[in-house]
Chains A and B, each alone.
Chain A
Amino acid sequence: MSKLLRGNFTPKSEVAAKKNEDDLEAKFERAALARLGGSIGYVSRKKFLWSGETGEDKNELPAAGRAAQYDHD
């Protein structure tokens, strides 16, 4: 893939792809979640109840919640 996706300039210093022990774990986590999923939906940081444009809803969740860690990929 690196041969296909070339940049159009040469960097002054060598850029190494970030690799650490977390990569494997994160890769597994993504693969596992993609395969397992949940029984049904959960939408992080949104209201508990949405009744349409005219509905009386409340409880929109704040921007930074625990499940937000799963939003990255």
Chain B
Amino acid sequence: MERYTLDRVGGLALDNARFNQVAARDGASILALRETELAAGDAALVIAAGPSLHRQDTAGMIKASGFRGPIIATESAMAWCLRNDIVPSLVVTVDPHRERIVRWFGDPELDATAIARDDYYARQDMDPNFRFNQLESNRELLGLVNQSGPRMRIAVASSASQAVVKRCAETGMSVYWWNPMLDDYDAAEGFSRQLHRLNGKPCLNAGGNVGSACWVLAHAVLGKTKIGIVGMDFSYYGETSYRETQYYNELVEMLGAERIAEAFVHIHNPYLRRDFFTDPAYYWYRMAFLEMAEQAAADGIRTYNCTGGGILFGSGIDFVSFAEFAAAAADTKVSKVQG
């Protein structure tokens, strides 16, 4: 899978990194985040954009909890955060797609032609607000991000598109650069080393997706040992239509519409006593995350999945309510003061 991902996005990631070379080289490193207030305390909350975010009062739970640690959000969850008056301490972006990702920031260039060209946002299940009246919701998001940009930091991967980098600059976000680990850094002529040589910034093992990248950044860069997660489903609710899934068009092309059901795996979540289904890519994200979580746990890092849905459970992960995570985070603060 690592090689498949590299084949699929490696070339585009490198092209973007070359375009971003000067900005990344001369800009701040994600390691500089260790010198900010984000590094204080040992708890952080990661907000990803899975469908569970919208199926419960996640924003209400976060606000009512009194959680005071840094909130690290995927770019795809940023709109949800801002609509709910939650300004992330740090946003993370990595996917190199030239047109899609900037939509999560509000795309100044969006028009009816662009919407007709790509049906992704009309289908996706991550943020229902993006599905209807796309021009109007884009206008609203442009305003929200313009307003909150100066109060947000963003960890931008060198693989990010020109449109995303430009949008970050024009909104006044504070940018911190990193490189995605595209392959083994021990390979002398590998892509990861090429990226590092281009701009000198550290490579982060991003787990294949931006949500996992947030979690890695929380412990590997900010040194957090208690990390809560919401919105990380890596799966779909049973009532989701296949057309709404992330890779619908690709799977139809591979199998034909009549056989598309064969592409999905059904997984029972024993904590919720509920079934979810997932596709090959999301399933791989889950397996990669479990591998990373287990290793992080061996280093004393606790991962609290408070998503309330989905298939991310297993060794190294506490599948708990948000209240339980908030209590654990608060306990940490108390014990620190006592110590």
Contact = CB atoms under 8 A, between A and B. Distances in A.
Contact of A37 (B5, B183, B212, B220): B5
Contact of B183 (A38, A43, A49): A43
B183 A44 contact: no
Given A40-B94, A44-B2, A67-B288, A49 B204 contact: yes
B262 interface: yes
Majority-rule SS of A interface residues? loop
B194 interface: no
A18 B216 CA distance: 40
B127 interface: no
A31 to B, nearest CB: 6
Contact of A50 (B181, B219, B254): B181
Contacts of A61: 291-292, 295
Interface string A18-58: 00000000001101111111111111111111111001001
A60 B99 CA distance: 34
Contacts, number: 168
A59 B216 CA distance: 11
A36 B192 contact: no
Contacts of B182: 40-41, 43
Majority-rule SS of B interface residues? helix
- Which interface class (under 10, 10 to 19, 20 to 34, 35 or more) fits B? 35 or more
A69 interface: yes
B27 interface: no
Contact of A62 (B4, B31, B280, B295): B295
B180 A38 contact: no
Nearest to A25: B262
A34 B7 contact: yes
Contact of B13 (A33, A40, A66): A40
Closest 4 CB pairs of A and B: A37-B8, A38-B208, A48-B220, A65-B291
Interface of A: 28-29, 31-52, 55, 58-59, 61-62, 65-71
30 contacts: A32-B263, A33-B1, A33-B4, A33-B280, A34-B4, A35-B247, A36-B279, A38-B1, A38-B9, A38-B208, A38-B284, A39-B95, A39-B210, A40-B159, A41-B208, A43-B205, A44-B288, A46-B184, A47-B205, A48-B204, A48-B292, A49-B205, A49-B221, A51-B31, A52-B202, A66-B290, A66-B291, A67-B287, A67-B288, A70-B284
